[in-house]
Every structure is written in structure tokens, then in C-alpha cells.
A and B are shown apart, each in its own frame.
Chain A
């Protein structure tokens, strides 16, 4: 069903579960390294392979990071809580139980405010808890790449035991047609918060940030939530938005036909944007949770938690508000910069000495246009904020005008070196040698006698054409203001 029609008939309720691999040096319960991309099964030991007799020891740094995430998301921090075992058999989980947290999470009841179309939406956080990642299975043969129908499967336990933080929102109601945008904005903002805390490299494509999207629909006018589905394998911000939109459309079509939604896990397909059915959750799996007896309870000292809170870095939303005030830009401009990923770039350019207005003008104008053309992210353009600052400095000093500056930027992007290098190599400096300029003007006056006469006879406005001629003859390098003055002087007219 088309999205607009779906929204006329139904109201979506969202829920987001985000898994974040923490960037600790060692795994959650043993000393193995956590670095990505090592040869399979080389970052393993008796503990993370669950050899008989081995025991877990909790990683203090991971607990600290989880508490910091909770604090940044305005959560309450438990004064006493325990790990729990989640029991189920699967070959990529060495112990056949996952050490997680169940009814005693480290952090509860927080929120994250996100901006969507100029409005603030408060996404409430249900819980933030700490657990361990599983190994990685690869199913070889078969049509689906899943375990069913595979010829054989291989398992890499390097990932088994990497600390994983799960952040679960409360159901998000009232987003209306903006549900997909809210979902995306939430994950975007969450990612920035996590990045600012320095707790994870938050790379969705490498799986260090993974998002499950829960969607249900209720008919307009109803207040009873519908059956929800959980969509996994959503590996980019754009996919978050597409997955929500797609699931709203799919569910609406089923409901409109009088069908019912099956509570299930669905898999998102990046190529088609569609989801396909996975494991049914109708018969809820019994994980037989119980408190992990191999680990002692976590009882963070309130004074330590208070200290962690005091030492939190400036959070992205606070920082944006501060920068907006410092730069004196409108909400809309700020939102545009945020969406374009330009805030850090502008900030760094300002730090390198450029006026905020100029920094913003170049990043959101010429450079945004070029990023768009080449289909790359602004931050991935091969130009540094320092280069942009240098260009604004050259313009301010009169050495460049905007047209030349654009050529300098083009040169830097093309790999021709620093802005100075490009100016030098391409000979782009404004002509402010009076003799050279004077000679160009003489030429132009000689070949535009009509216009010169008009100016002499008092039609000063005609000087524009002559200045244009000078700019053309100098291939844009002349200082237009000085050229105008000299022309009028030569023609004996007061400016």
C-alpha cells in the first residue's frame, strides 16, 4: 500500500533496539583482543571458547562505558545489578548461553531528544544493558545463506565475547508520517552520542552498530497497539528509514485486506529495500534466564558514577546549540548543516581561523555541491578544513575572489596540493600589479570605444561592460573594484 494511504488509515508505533560493540581493548570476559579483521579463530582462549572449567571475569572498562552511555542518555544507573544467563543452543555461542542482563539492567529510564523537520521528538529509553557478542557463522551452500539448507557451516569465534551494549527504546508513539525520519534521526543522534563518548567506533557497515527496528500499526482512532515485527540486518542509516517505511507499507496492506500481522523477526534486504520473514516469535522461545552464578553482582559506587557524569564530554546536542549561538545561524541552517554532516567540518574550519559565515558558505555551497556530484559524504572529500580556512583567508586578503577561490578548491580536490600550491601552479592570483592592470584597461578601452564614449559623456553605468571586459581579458584574475576606479580615472570621470 502506498505510504500516504497507509498513514491515512494507520498510526505507526516504533521501537528501536540498538547493539553497540564497545571499543574496549579486550573482550567482555577474557583478555583476548577485540580488533576487527584478524584471521578466524585467532583471538580466542579457553574462556571465550567455553572450554570446560573456564570462567568469565567482567571487563571493568566495559562496565564503565555502559554506565557512561546510560548517563549520556539520561538514565538512572543501578546501584546493584547482576548479569544473567540467556540459555539457547546455537553453534556460534560457545557456552550455549549468552551472558547478558535480564531484569536488572545497568541503566534504565532515560531519553534522547532528536530533531526532525525543526521539531524536537523525545525518544524514551527503556534500558541500556551489557552483554557479550556471539561468534560469526558462515553458512556455505544452499540458496539463502542461512543455516537451513546450507551444505555446511563454519564458525569464527573471534567475535565471541566482544562486549556489546544493548540500548532499547520504549515504544515511540505519535511520530505519525515522520516515523521513518524519527527512526533515522534517533540512530543518527545515538551514533553521535556514542562517538562523542569514544566508547565505540560505531561503524554500521562493520557491524559495530547494529539496529533492530520494531514496527506495529494501529488503526486511526484506536489506542490499542497492533502486533509488532522486528526487522534485523538494517545496516545503514538510510536502511533504517527505508525499513520503517517498507514495514509500514507492508503491514498496512495486510491489515487493510483483513489479514493479521504475525509476530516475527524479519530480515531487511539492502538491495531491494524489502523485508522477508525470518523466525516466528509466536511461540516465544524460553531463554530460562537466571542470575549468572560465575560473576559477582555489579555495585557501582555512587560517587564514582557521579564523577563519570561530571566528566562526560559535551554531548552532540549541547554542542550544536552552543555552536549555533556562536555562529549566529538559524535553526534551519543548523539543521541543514547537521544533515549534511558539515558541523564538525565547519567547526574545524573556524578553529583553523576562518569566519563562521565563510566556513559555512564554502562547505554548504561549493563543497556540498561537489560532494553531491561525486556521491561522496562531505567529510570524505579529499580536502581538509585547514585548506578551506586558507581559501577564505586568501579571499579576505583580496588575493582571490570567489570565482578564483572555486578554482582553487577544485584544484585541491583534484589532488593538486594545498591551496597555495594550486594558486601557484594555476596562476590564479588576482592581478593587482597596477602596470599590468593599466595595460589591460588600455586595451579594453581601445577595443570598446563606444562604451568608453558613453562613460565619458556621463553614462557612468556603462562602466560595467568595461569592467567585464577587463575581467574577461584577465581571465578573472583582476580586482574588479580597482579596475573600475582606474577606468573612470582614465576616462576623466568622477566615480
Chain B
């Protein structure tokens, strides 16, 4: 079997036992990128030489008898919203074109320390704002299942890279669903860890109180291995949780649901949900019952207000977070011809450097924080956020995990929602509540919709620091469905 079809765990073992070299593995993936990325456009930047050098360094350490982690030598695609001292970092924006950070993000540093080989940086919606990668200043990525469709967003480059076998693993960030939704629509696994479980240091901020780094992989165990590799407390991020990483790898290996109480969120169904999505979801509910889980319906009435609350909180924070892009210290500078004031240069640069969706959110957020409107908008949204957390708490008194479809629909065609922000925002309907509450949630493939033959995702939600529950249930579903399908869902994807 081709090296690019293997799981990350398998590759790690092969490399550790010196059956293949990390360099061979890296080369195989670089070859695959060269072969398919012209169609998929998952990557904004690929650094073959550096990747091979990193791989050789791992091979040398293994040759010396060093015992490295389970992912040492495994290639990874890194979302271009994490700073990398050896590669450009754009956040998908023109305003940072050509910027080379002088420092590594904590996630980047931990990938390197775990011996992961960074192949390059993946495409995303500008500043992680979007659900399709169409907001990238560098053009959209394409869904490997159907190149005319979106790979999800904002981490669409990362989902596409893994689904197209360009990398076995990738990183993403999830602010309102930016890992789970791309994972769902490309038929792979994507996990949003507990907020604070993985460091935001060096992650270019969209909405500070929501942004969460997380893993993509083609199976649940690989995702757990990657999450474990880069998670844990970081002194450079005050909001990172000073507690042990939940036992995610153990849970992914446990893969059983016997005796677990599982809640189906009543509110995540009905109008706007694609029938094929609901059909696969309902089958999965039956599957879980057949595996010995006790499934009950749970009502979370405030979840209906999650989307509007999110679209006040996230833009408010982004309006402030993106103020630093002012042409004074780094990035794009427009209009500095010696006649214009600093203020004019700032305005011209921001007008030229930010795309329409980013501007829309900056304006929304600026308005929501304005004196006289703060209480009605930002203040009210924070109250809703508290109520959503309470709904979750009440639900977790009854059940161990909550489940729902990850997205209301399968991957939509590129261009379909580009001019309709509200339609685009609905893609995150089911994923946003977990961000507002800071909880853990995973998306695992649960089949193909009958209408379009495109992947459907199952979302499994767990309380703060209950990440292991997501993996345990996700792995059980994966195991049962793979048995039914005779292999992973992704193997049903058409060849590129």
C-alpha cells in the first residue's frame, strides 16, 4: 500500500522501526502534493527542502537509538494561521502577504518537538473567518470528493490536504466550527478540544475567547495522537488550562460505548437540514443504541440563540484583535508616499489589505461594542452565552455526551453562498454552541447523503476537559461503521 494511504500511527511505527525512513514518507507526500494540489489547492506554501531536512533529522535521531514520540517523522500540513519562524504566515490575508514571523507558535513548537515533519502551510478563509475557504485572499481550496465544492472552512486547506492524502495529519483552528465543519464535509475526523486545552500563543487571533487549535486526521486514533502531541498547559497563554491533557489516546483505543448515556439534541433538526444528513444521523443513533449506549433526547432551548450571540461576540473581539494590522510595524503598507499622515496610511492599508468578509465583521464588531449599543449587543450576547453554558451543564447532568449532525448540509458548490453571508453562517449552526461554552466536540464521518453522495459528519460533544469522551464515542462509531463499509468512508471517494 502506498505510504500516503497509511494512518499516522502506522507511519510512526514504520519510521520508529526503521522499516521506512521519515525522508521516504515525506517524499511520498511531497510527490502526492505535486500530483494533486494543482486541483485541490490545499496549500499556500510548501517547503519540500525543509520538510526533507526535518525528516532526515528524525531519521538520524532514530538511527542513534533515541526514543521519540509516536508521531516522530510523520508529515503534517499546518494551518497558515499559526506562526512559523521558517515559513511565511499569512492567515489567508493580503495584509500579511510575505510576512515572516520571528517566532514559532506554541503549537508549531510542539509539533517540531514531537518530531512531526511540517510539509507546508494550508489555505484558510481570511483570518479564519468563513466556512468555505472562499474568503481566502489566495483563492479557494477544493473538496477532494467533488472539486467544484467547498472543503469547508475556515480550515478548508487542512481538511482538503488530509482528505486528498497529501498529508496524514493537519492542524486547524475552531472558532465556530472551523475544524468540525470542514472535517464533516470532506469525510475525515476533526476535533475541537476544550477551550484552553491547546495553546493559542502564535495563533493569529480571530476571536480570542473562542479560538481553539485542534487536529485533523483520517481516523480517530490519529487525531488523538496529534491532539496529545500539541496540547497541554502553556505559560505564554493565560487562558490555557493548567491541568493534565485528558486521556484521549487511551479513549480512542477503548472505542466502546457500552453503558454510556448519549443525548440527542432535539433542537438540531428540522427546517434547513438536508434529508440525507438527517437520515445518516438517525442511523448512527440506532447504531449507538445497538452498541449498548443508552440514547435519550435532550432539549437545549437556548441553542437557538447561539448563532446570533456568536455573530456579536466573535466580530466584537475580531474588531479589536485585527486593529494591530495598521502598516506601522509589519505587513502590507499602502499610500506611504511621504505626503500622507500615519492615519491615512493605516486607513488605506486596511482598505486594501482586508477582504469583504473581514471588513464586514470588523464593522459589525465595532458597532456592537460602541457606547450606547454595548449593553444591547455585546452585553446581551454574553448573557446568552452564559445561558447556553447552563443548558449544556443541565444536559450533562443527564448524559455523558451529546450528539448531533455536524453540519445541516453536505458540501455546497463553490460560489453558491459566497454572496449570501447568512446562508454561509448557517453552516456553523450545530457547532457554535460548543465554542460559546468552551466545551470539547469532535466530528467523525457517518456516511454519505443519498441526494449527493457526499460525506456527512456526526458531532459528539462533551463537557470541558471531557475530550476523551469525544474520542471514545467517535472511535466506537468509526469501528462499527468501518466494519459495515469494509473500510474508511474516505476510501469511497473518487480518485483525483
Binding site for B on A (CB under 8 A): 46, 49-58, 85, 87, 89, 91, 94-97, 147, 153, 155, 284, 286, 288-290, 293-296
Contact = CB atoms under 8 A, between A and B. Distances in A.
Nearest to B104: A53
Interface in B313-372: 316-317, 319-320, 323-326, 328-330, 341-343, 346, 366, 369-371
Contacts of A89: 323, 326, 343, 346
B238 interface: yes
Given A52-B91, A53-B101, A57-B238, A95 B323 contact: yes
In the complex, the 7 A-B pairs of residues with the closest C-beta atoms, listed nearest first:
A96-B323, A293-B208, A288-B369, A293-B209, A53-B202, A52-B204, A50-B324
B208 A294 contact: yes
B96 interface: yes
5 contacts: A51-B103, A53-B204, A57-B236, A57-B238, A94-B324
Contacts of A55: 200-201, 236-238
Nearest to A86: B320
Contacts of A296: 238-239
**Which of B208, B319, B328, B343 neighbours the largest number of chain A CB atoms within 10 Å of its CB?**
B328
B311 to A, nearest CB: 16
A144 to B, nearest CB: 15
B105 interface: yes
Contacts of B207: 293
Contacts of B89: 52-53
Contacts of B203: 53
B238 A56 contact: yes
A46 B99 CA distance: 14
Given A288-B320, A288-B369, A290-B378, A53 B205 contact: yes
B492 interface: no
A289 B420 CA distance: 31
Interface string B192-217: 00000000111111011100000000
B341 to A, nearest CB: 8
A155 B326 CA distance: 14
Contacts of B145: none
Q: Is the interface of A mostly helix, strand, loop or mixed?
A: loop
Contacts of B17: none
B390 to A, nearest CB: 19
B235 interface: yes
A97 B236 contact: no
B65 interface: no
A91 B328 contact: yes
**Which of A54, A58, A87 neighbours the largest number of chain B CB atoms within 10 Å of its CB?**
A54
A89 B323 CA distance: 8
B351 to A, nearest CB: 14
Q: How large is the interface on B (under 10, 10 to 19, 20 to 34, 35 or more residues)?
A: 35 or more
A53 B320 contact: no
B374 interface: yes
Given A91-B326, A97-B323, A290 B369 contact: yes
Contacts of A50: 324, 329
Interface in B291-323: 316-317, 319-320, 323
Contacts of B103: 46, 51, 54
B323 A91 contact: no
Contacts of B96: 52
Interface in B62-92: 82-83, 89, 91
B198 to A, nearest CB: 13
A95 B320 CA distance: 8
A55 B91 CA distance: 16
B350 to A, nearest CB: 10
B326 A290 contact: no
Given A89-B346, A91-B328, A294-B238, A51 B320 contact: no
Interface in B102-139: 102-103, 105
A388 to B, nearest CB: 52
A50 B370 CA distance: 23
Nearest to A155: B328
Contacts of B371: 284, 286, 288
Contacts of B205: 52-53, 294
A51 B238 contact: no
Given A46-B102, A290-B369, A57 B330 contact: no
A104 to B, nearest CB: 14
Contacts of A58: 238
A52 B83 contact: yes
Contacts of A155: 328
A43 B162 CA distance: 42
B332 to A, nearest CB: 13
Contacts of B238: 55-58, 294-296
Nearest to B317: A293
Contacts of B201: 53-55
